[in-house]
Structure 1
Amino acid sequence: MAEEEDFSSLPLPERFVHKNWKVRKEGYEAAAKAFDTAPSESDPTVREFIQDAGIWKAAVGDSNVAAQQEALGALCSFLQIAGTAGCTRTRNSTIVPIVEKGLAATRPAAKEKALEALMLYIEMDKADPIIEELLPILSHKQPKIIAATLTALTSIYKAYGCKTVEPKPALKLLPKVYGHADKKVREEAQKLTVELYRWLKDAMKPFFWNDLKPVQQQDLEKLFEPVKNEPPPKPTRLLRSQQAIHEAAPAESGAEVVDEDEEDVGIDLEPEYLAVDVMPKIPKEFHDRLGSTKWKDRKEALDELFTAINHPKIEENQFSDIMSGLAKCMKDANIAVVSVAANCIECFANGLKRSFAKYRSVVMSPMMERLKEKKQAVTDAIGAALDAVFAATSLSECLEETLGFLAHKNPQVKLESTRFLMRCLRTTREAPQAPEVKSIADAATKLLTESQESQRSAGAEVLGTLWKIMGDRMMASHLEGLDEIRKTKIKEFHDSAKVIAKYKPKAAPPPKAAAPPPQKKVFGQKAKAAGVRKAASAVAAPPPVEEPAATPLAPRPTSRPAAGASKLGRPKYGLVPPSGLKRPGMPSAASSGISSPRRQAASPTFDEPEPTPAAPKIGGLAGRGLAGRPLGKPAVANEAPLVAPSGLAGLNSAERVELEELREENERLKRQNEDMRAERSRLSSQVHELQDQNAQLIEDHTRDVLSIKAKETQLVRARSDAETAEQTVQSQQREIDRLKRELSRQKRAVSPPSREMNGSGSDIYSDGGSSNTALNGSRPQLYGGRSYVTSPTGEGSTSSMLRRADSGSRSPARWSASSGLGAQGQDGDSRLGTSGGFGASGAAAGNGESWKRAAEVTQNLKARIEQMKARQGLSRPQ
């Protein structure tokens, strides 16, 4: 058998493209070993494959399955050592062959290596380019390739999570794969959907749910049920950049980084929409119809507005008038109008996003005031609008108004406002600041003392949620004064709370670098050098008389230097205090320009000691600086100690004393500075305490003022009720008087007065031939010699009075004649009527006497009538 040719000497790129699959396979294996042993990406073999990146396309798509498996292994080894450069240069040409040839291969090892290659492409750089290459393959004509791609996507999301790999592109394509005819494709689509549901829960449904059939929705709901209550999963792999961050973090803070990843479950699922200009779609007569007196017209106008603005994204415009109208609708008496207005506000907030912040103050307070509505549908609509307003703004912007309504007098408004605050704390992405935490905690603590259990529970839930955000250290001071029962309740809400934000204390600033130690300065050094130079130049030229360059300061009242001390060539006060501290007006040695005057020296000898000089010519000026020095030619011996040793050894007693004084003054100033800092800190703490007390007093004052106003309102209402009651009493009293009078009139109508009271005496008795009946129709009756007059109405009347006449004054015949009864009397005796001669003779005989009797009877009747009127007048109500 002939020996096989050895191709190991060929370069690796040539072996990669060899026509013999065995050579290619051996080349892939050799390349994988070379990549695994390479120290870095700068290795020549690695650099060669980075530059010739197109060679990998044919390798991963090798027609031989055995060679392809080794090629995928070599690619994985290459990506691990080549890093970002190898990833970015090769992924555009290798992703499609990896999916079509690798993921759809028959060998499990090849599938595993193909999937690992995709994972490494994501790990080395980022996931977006890989997802962009994979999603178009979901439209492939072969179902097995689509199913393999869905399997790869499921593995990618499971490994890296939806915070690293953007889920929105995959969610949008789910309805398409659910409509595929192949059952395997649909099953893999369900697995991908369940994996996304683990991360996103119900937040992912708006992207694809409505495009599914009801049967598909029911099947997915059954699949969601087992994972619905699971905690959010954790990624099993990290990007290379994320690994570097974790490795760079200190060991003690590594756990904290992981905890932050566990807590932060917020994933941006906001889809991209084009802004719509809704202003032309709003009816022009909207404001007129909104002010109509008919609630149906107002509701129809709001319905048309809702239809016009119901878009995911609204182009920014001037909506101030519309917002004012919607705010007024919150006070509408019809709840249907209120609900539609709340829906319109929600649409504006969702569509305008951050641009809605300028309208928040216009609509937020009226909406929270209308939370007093007891109908749940209305409060739900307003609550959804408030949530949209909060999502468009921030917790800091909404907090002040919300806390104000937590102290509202209406229990319903207070409870719904507390629930709104809880929703804000759960969904906010920024933890509140320390002053905001105190305000929230104080308001929630007051709710713990409410009479209603629902409000107490709401206050405990607010504190528990805030505790979850801020942590134990920040909340310890706010929970100190609470009893154990309330703390236990708050702890329960803390354990069950789910929040997005987490308080991160600011890192302490790095310590400032220590200041370099102050350099030691040799006092008077420059003055000495200047004196030496001047002395050397004075040998050739005679010294002129020189005026002092500057007037030195007067010395302190301390021990005086020797008379010749000023001749050393250094200024009297040319000292630089330590740490740069100088007395006001004191020139420094470097800037004052003061130096010893020029002196003529016989020889430049500096080794002889300085003799005691003679007294100055100007008496009393010794030790006065330049003015006290002699102007004559100095002796040569006076120039000896010009070069003094550095440091304090060259200082005289006066300079040492002054140096000590400056040091003491420096220490004293340092102590004063420290005392001032301590005093400033103490005053700052007092200011903060006073500010807190002032805020508490303002709050108490506001509460007292509101209480007083409430009492005044109650007093005004009570006064109004009293006046109304008084008017009612007066009206009823008048009605009673009227009824009494009416009753009296009815009584008088039943018993009218006698009619004879209205007549005169001539009506009772007329002349002899008169036929008029006395007392308006009364008929005289004769009983036992007495005459009685009765009324035709019968007995029992007050006007029917019995009249009695003297039986001796008139005879029956005379009474009959004068009364005109005719021939027949009341008793039916016809003799009285037929006895006409008797009547005529009686009338003729007693005509004068009859008039007298008639007058007397009339007077008696009038007197009795008056008495009767008087009696009836006393019994009537006044």
Structure 2
Amino acid sequence: MAEQEEDFSSLPLPDRFQHKIWKVRKAGYEDAAKQFEVTPDEYDPAFRPFLQDPGLWKGAVADSNVAAQQDGIAALCAFLKFGGKEGCTRTRSHTIQPLVEKGLSSTRAATKASALEALLLYIELDTAVPVIEDLLPALSNKQPKVVAATLAALTAIFHNYGCKTVDPKPVLKILPKAFGHADKNVRAEATNLAVEFYRWLREAMKPMFWNELKPTQQTDMDAQFEKIKSEPAPKQERFLRSQQAAMARAPPPGAAGAAEEEDDLEAEPVEVDAFDLAEPQDVLSKVAPDFSDQLASAKWKERKEALEALFLVLNVPRIKDGDFGEIVRGLGKSMKDANVAVVTQAAQCIEVLAKGLRKPFGKYRSIVSGPLMERLKEKKVTVSDALGAALDQVFIATSLTDNLEEMLEFLKHKNPQVKEGTMKFLIRCLKTTREAPSKPEVASIAESAKKLLAESSEGLRSGGAEVLGTLMKIMGERAMGPHLEGLDEIRKTKIKEYFEHAEVKAKDKPKPPPAPVARAPPPTAAPKKVAAKKAVTKKPAPAPSPYAQEALAPQPTARSIPGSKLGGPKPAGLKAPLKRTLPGPGGAALTASPRRPAAQAPPLMEEEPPAPPRLGLGRGLAGRSLASKAPAMAPPTPAQSVSPPPNFGLTAVERAELEELRLDKDRLLRQADDMRQERSRLNSEIQELKNQNAQLIEDHTRDVLSIKAKETQLVRARSDCEAAEAMCGQLRREMERLKRALTSAERVNSPPMSLPSPSRETMNDGGDIYRDTGMYGGAQESRPGFSNRARMSYTSTLSEEKENSGDPLANPYARSKLSPELRNGRNSAASGSAGRASPAPYQSSRTGRDPSTDSGRGDTGQGVESWKRAAEVTSALKAKIEQMKARQGISRP
């Protein structure tokens, strides 16, 4: 056995990893872990076999022997810890699944701990995304212990790295599935994971899965959340290798400040909201196509219902960007609605839209922010709260700079309610902004706040002091000192009180301003400092003169002319120009001492560089050596230390350039001021145009509504007119029918003397009457069936009148309204026409008189007799009608 063990130990590690004897594998895992621990770096040859064949680790992690498996996972941890990122990326796809299925669910505590450590190392060496993607499928495993172990591993991952390093969205989406598992251990681990999420995300996590839980589960979760609400914000315990390298690169002097900034940055991710976790949703397709028409309705209930439907569509955690221009313009118009319920609902729609869009909502800010602040004049609490919430969401979607100009304008509003609401909005903006305002913005805010201190209302005065105190908290007491000058001590004390109690998220950082100041002076200041150091520290400065001679060869030779043979003729030629520029000092310097010309003459000589070539000094100067000139240059050096001559002429040029630059700077500043004024003017014009546009839109809307109302009235009037015309036609037809019936009835009731000649029509209409009365029985008896036909025609006429009118008394009532003259006239006309149509013999036989004599005779006595006869005939006719009704079973009306 000893020989076999020695043979096994001599085998390469990859062969031992795949050996059939578990003890050999176990020993190989242990030896591998020891080798990895003693390697100097991640590029050691010990890692190479496992990088070339990463599948070796799959067998080690999933070893069938639990003791060997424990050492195999421990060896993997040592490999990852000392092998670096390459070992992580190459082995990750082979080991995570067996780690989850065989390592995390192991019965050995050491194996579980090693498996979890391996997962944490995989995240530490690279990123968490691939590890989470490989862990999530294990939540659908058939074995409950694997699911529970995976949830516990996820809880440990988020506990160590936090929700800033590890994205919680993929896990939150499938968390409800774990809550609905049949195994109680799985549900318990899901509860632990949800509690860990709540430590980092707070209420922002609920929209992702809360509605999918059962009510009892929600109650239990709320009880768990209550226990950790008072705990401080969690911090990341383990860091990625990239984060560790960034922290190692931080300079030691600023370590304290850097640590504070890191703490602040680590504390910020706790304030995660549902927007960061949710997926964008397309809501434009869900908006009603006729939303604009409904919003322009004349009935306020219809407008409110349209806004309520829009609110339900927009109330999602995150909205996909799109063209919301028409919707936002409609909401902006609704701010001017006369009904406060419509205004409140529109403000709520603006709030959820800005909350769901965030940054993309910035392009719509100018459409709604002005109308929202203008509507702050409402005194109703519900309306003002809705408007304030909408303004807060608009500010969160934009920035303080975007809203400041409009806020300052509304702080000058004539309505105190608008002033107070805008002031409160400004205070909330200063407390929540994460970017400190610039100095011009600070000045404008301070000026507006100081004006509020002089208001008559106590609320506005306190608000002005709170604005200044909050601004001081952001900028610091020193920066706000100049803006508080001129205020009395009482107001300063009140501002200090608000300053001490204010809570802000932005802090002014005065570090960036010195950087541009340090960059600006180097071109002019740096050379002067260097020259001064050279002149003071090294008085005998022979070095500058060779540089000067090399740079300007003719000028140093001219300075050394007084000590040379060529010095005689040269001053004679140079005195005139010297006297032109500096007559007194120039002549005195040249005649008194050789050092003075060195101090005063150089600028004059440098002003005329072409003089040496004209005097023919190029040859003598070229023949002289630099060493001979050095002693001549040495004496003037002390004097140059006091007033350096070489820089005197250059500084004159530089001064000229400096003056030009200053003039350019002044010109640019004036241009900037002009442009700033022009910009303010254009902004005011834009605001006026916006107001005019809003007024025109309001007028247009009002006109459209009035036009639609008029059109509605016109349509109703037209329909009423058509109905009246139809009724008139029906009444006209009814009247014609009644006239015909009346005519036929009067024709039947007409006196016998006015009956026409015996024609067929007359006989059909009235023969029965005459026969029944017995007056003209002989004439009618000769026409059998005449009486029945007449009776039937008259009965049918009466029945038709009753059926058409619906009222049995209508026709008699209509006939009774006719005047006796009209009825007599009709009777006479009917009789006359009948008489004209009938032959004379028949008429004479009926009346017994000659028609010619009847027409010429007066009808005084005959008219009375004929009326009596008509009355008799009428009474007889009525009796007959009653008999007919009785026979036919018609009741009396």
Superposition TM-score tier, normalisation by shorter sequence: 0.5 to 0.7
Any idea what SS the aligned residue of 1:114 has? helix
Give the AA of the match of 1:434.
K
Partner of 1:784: none
Instruction: Check the 8 A contact 2:470/2:499 in 1, yes or no.
Output: no
Alpha-carbon distance in structure 1 between the residues aligned to 2:314 and 2:217: 32
Partner of 1:164: 165
* CA deviation after TM superposition for structure 1 residue 283, in Å: 3.3
Instruction: Check the 8 A contact 1:581/1:666 in 2, yes or no.
Output: no
Q: 1:433 aligns with which of 432, 435, 438?
A: 438
Give the AA of the match of 1:278.
L
CA displacement 1:386-430 (0-9 Å, x = unmatched)? 233223322221222223334444444334334433443454444
Q: 1:186 to 1:318 in 2, by over 3 A?
A: closer
Instruction: Check the 8 A contact 2:77/2:121 in 1, yes or no.
Output: yes
Instruction: Check the 8 A contact 2:335/2:372 in 1, yes or no.
Output: yes
Partner of 2:890: none
Alpha-carbon distance in structure 1 between the residues aligned to 2:328 and 2:504: 33
Partner of 1:249: 250
Partner of 1:542: none
Partner of 2:152: 151
Structure 1 residue 625 and structure 2 residue 644: aligned? no
Partner of 2:179: 178
Alpha-carbon distance in structure 2 between the residues aligned to 1:166 and 1:585: 75
* CA deviation after TM superposition for structure 1 residue 641, in Å: 8.9
CA displacement 1:266-320 (0-9 Å, x = unmatched)? 4475245455372684434x44543444322332343454456556665655554
* CA deviation after TM superposition for structure 1 residue 161, in Å: 1.3
Any idea what SS the aligned residue of 1:401 has? helix
Name the TM-score, length of structure 2 as normaliser: 0.59
Q: 2:625 aligns with which of 623, 644, 650?
A: 644
Alpha-carbon distance in structure 2 between the residues aligned to 1:408 and 1:26: 85
Partner of 1:326: 331
The answer for unaligned runs of 5 or more in structure 2 is 532-543, 556-571, 580-597, 685-893
The answer for unaligned runs of 5 or more in structure 1 is 529-552, 561-574, 595-623, 630-637, 702-878
CA displacement 1:445-494 (0-9 Å, x = unmatched)? 65566666665665566556555655666556667867674355324433
Give the AA of the match of 1:341.
A
Q: 1:209 to 1:418 in 2, by over 3 A?
A: farther
Partner of 1:393: 398
Give the AA of the match of 1:298.
R
Partner of 1:40: 41
Q: 1:412 to 1:134 in 2, by over 3 A?
A: farther
Instruction: Check the 8 A contact 2:73/2:114 in 1, yes or no.
Output: yes
Q: 1:4 to 1:283 in 2, by over 3 A?
A: closer
Instruction: Check the 8 A contact 1:102/1:114 in 2, yes or no.
Output: yes
* CA deviation after TM superposition for structure 1 residue 382, in Å: 2.1
Structure 1 residue 276 and structure 2 residue 282: aligned? yes
Give the AA of the match of 1:53.
P
Partner of 1:369: 374
Any idea what SS the aligned residue of 2:9 has? coil
Instruction: Check the 8 A contact 2:208/2:278 in 1, yes or no.
Output: no
Partner of 1:858: none
Alpha-carbon distance in structure 1 between the residues aligned to 2:343 and 2:421: 16
Partner of 1:486: 494
Alpha-carbon distance in structure 1 between the residues aligned to 2:203 and 2:39: 48
Mapping 1:221-232, distance limit 5 Å: 221-232=222-233
Partner of 1:499: 505
CA displacement 1:327-377 (0-9 Å, x = unmatched)? 222121211111222233234434544333222111111111112222222
CA displacement 1:2-28 (0-9 Å, x = unmatched)? 765321111111111111111111111
Q: 1:70 to 1:432 in 2, by over 3 A?
A: farther
Name the TM-score, length of structure 1 as normaliser: 0.60
Instruction: Check the 8 A contact 2:178/2:186 in 1, yes or no.
Output: yes
* CA deviation after TM superposition for structure 1 residue 37, in Å: 0.8
Structure 1 residue 341 and structure 2 residue 346: aligned? yes
Structure 1 residue 359 and structure 2 residue 364: aligned? yes
Q: 1:129 to 1:457 in 2, by over 3 A?
A: farther
Q: Which has the higher helix share?
A: 2
Mapping 1:165-244, distance limit 5 Å: 165-244=166-245
* CA deviation after TM superposition for structure 1 residue 113, in Å: 1.5
Range with bigger deviation, 508-517 or 442-451: 508-517
Partner of 1:124: 125
Alpha-carbon distance in structure 1 between the residues aligned to 2:278 and 2:225: 26
Q: 1:69 to 1:385 in 2, by over 3 A?
A: same
Partner of 1:75: 76
Alpha-carbon distance in structure 2 between the residues aligned to 1:490 and 1:94: 59
Give the AA of the match of 2:547.
K
* CA deviation after TM superposition for structure 1 residue 78, in Å: 1.1
Instruction: Check the 8 A contact 1:150/1:192 in 2, yes or no.
Output: yes
Mapping 1:452-463, distance limit 5 Å: 462=467
Any idea what SS the aligned residue of 2:301 has? helix
Q: 1:106 to 1:44 in 2, by over 3 A?
A: same
Any idea what SS the aligned residue of 1:344 has? helix
Partner of 1:84: 85
Partner of 1:520: 547
CA displacement 1:138-181 (0-9 Å, x = unmatched)? 12111111111111111111111111111222222221111111
Give the AA of the match of 1:283.
P
Partner of 1:133: 134
Partner of 1:826: none
Structure 1 residue 5 and structure 2 residue 13: aligned? no
Q: 1:362 to 1:667 in 2, by over 3 A?
A: closer
CA displacement 1:764-818 (0-9 Å, x = unmatched)? xxxxxxxxxxxxxxxxxxxxxxxxxxxxxxxxxxxxxxxxxxxxxxxxxxxxxxx
Give the AA of the match of 2:5.
E
Give the AA of the match of 1:224.
F
Count of aligned pairs between the two proteins: 611
Structure 1 residue 100 and structure 2 residue 101: aligned? yes
Q: 1:331 to 1:640 in 2, by over 3 A?
A: closer
Partner of 1:113: 114
Alpha-carbon distance in structure 2 between the residues aligned to 1:153 and 1:443: 53
* CA deviation after TM superposition for structure 1 residue 182, in Å: 1.4
Alpha-carbon distance in structure 1 between the residues aligned to 2:463 and 2:29: 67
* CA deviation after TM superposition for structure 1 residue 235, in Å: 1.0
Alpha-carbon distance in structure 2 between the residues aligned to 1:41 and 1:126: 19
Instruction: Check the 8 A contact 2:602/2:646 in 1, yes or no.
Output: no
Structure 1 residue 557 and structure 2 residue 576: aligned? yes
Any idea what SS the aligned residue of 2:164 has? coil
Alpha-carbon distance in structure 1 between the residues aligned to 2:226 and 2:622: 102
Range with bigger deviation, 460-469 or 23-32: 460-469
Instruction: Check the 8 A contact 1:471/1:503 in 2, yes or no.
Output: no
CA RMSD of aligned residues (A): 4.8
* % identical aligned pairs: 49
